[in-house]
Amino acid sequence: MPGADGDVPLRRALGELRVEGATALRLALPVPGDPLGLTGPAVFNRAAIEAGAAVVAVFADRAVGLVPYEDLRGSSYAGVRWEARAASPGRPDVPSLPEADRDLTTAMREATEALLTVNDIAPVPPEIADELMNLRSAGADEPPLAPGYPPRAQRTAARAVHLATVVRLARRMEARGLDAARMRRRDEALRLLDRAVRRAVVSACDSVFDPVPDR
């Protein structure tokens, strides 16, 4: 935490941010070439892109960025350590929830078509096949977001989480039997689907700030 001496527990840090005037926490899921959810400065952006994620605490006239790092202690403890950095205030360029939802549907359809035409002859490893089967029931009855989010945000986030796992598993599969052109097509299809997934998750989380329509 800025101004704090040493590490503090995450719950305490979030409480202190709230006491100091934080009004919102915004999710960022950036990758190289796509700083989704970030507004700067460059030092914070680089750290967030390297980590692949960040949270921005928004104040009236400033922002504090929280970047996650793997925290390994001894032979048995594995956790996450969050490092606070100065962030630039301002709203990031994030698509609306309806836009992100439509883009996710389009990317899913196009990625499926592209991957089917690649015709990879390598068999699916058993452990990946098992994980894909488990996706059908994992968390089916548990909303991915906290209570209070719009139903569409819950549905979009659930689809995005499912597809993120599919992307991760597909990237682990070997590409035996693929020539360079088909490998590029498969990689591009997964890249575009990953982009749509990240945008959908960030937009779903941001939707809690959307104005509630008059009834």
Residue 96 is which amino acid?
A: S
- Backbone phi, then psi, for 176, in 5-degree steps? -60, 140
The arithmetic mean of pLDDT across residues 108-134, rounded, is 67
Nearest to 146 by CA among 25, 58, 35: 25
Question: Does position 189 have pLDDT exceeding 60, yes or no?
Answer: yes
Would you place residue 135 in the very low, low, confident or very high pLDDT band (cuts 50, 70, 90)? low
Question: Does position 212 have pLDDT exceeding 70, yes or no?
Answer: no
214-to-120, 150, 209, 211 alpha-carbon distances in Å: 51, 15, 15, 9
Torsion angle of C-alpha atoms 36, 147, 22, 48, degrees rounded to 10: -30
Question: Does position 214 have pLDDT exceeding 50, yes or no?
Answer: no
Percent of the chain with pLDDT over 70: 80
Q: Parallel, antiparallel, or unpaired: how do β-strands 54-58 and 63-73 relate?
A: antiparallel
Calculate the average pLDDT of the chain. Answer: 84
Q: How far apart are CA 121 and CA 119, in angstroms?
A: 6
pLDDT digits (tens, 9 = 90+) for 77-86: 778 999 999 9
Question: Does position 17 have pLDDT exceeding 80, yes or no?
Answer: yes
Nearest-Å Rg of the Cα atoms of the chain is: 19
pLDDT value at position 68?
A: 96
The arithmetic mean of pLDDT across residues 156-174, rounded, is 84
pLDDT value at position 98?
A: 94
Would you place residue 46 in the very low, low, confident or very high pLDDT band (cuts 50, 70, 90)? very high
Would you place residue 64 in the very low, low, confident or very high pLDDT band (cuts 50, 70, 90)? very high
pLDDT value at position 215?
A: 44
Question: Does position 113 have pLDDT exceeding 50, yes or no?
Answer: yes
Q: Which two tokens stand for residue 199?
A: 């945008």
pLDDT value at position 165?
A: 86
Question: Does position 18 have pLDDT exceeding 60, yes or no?
Answer: yes
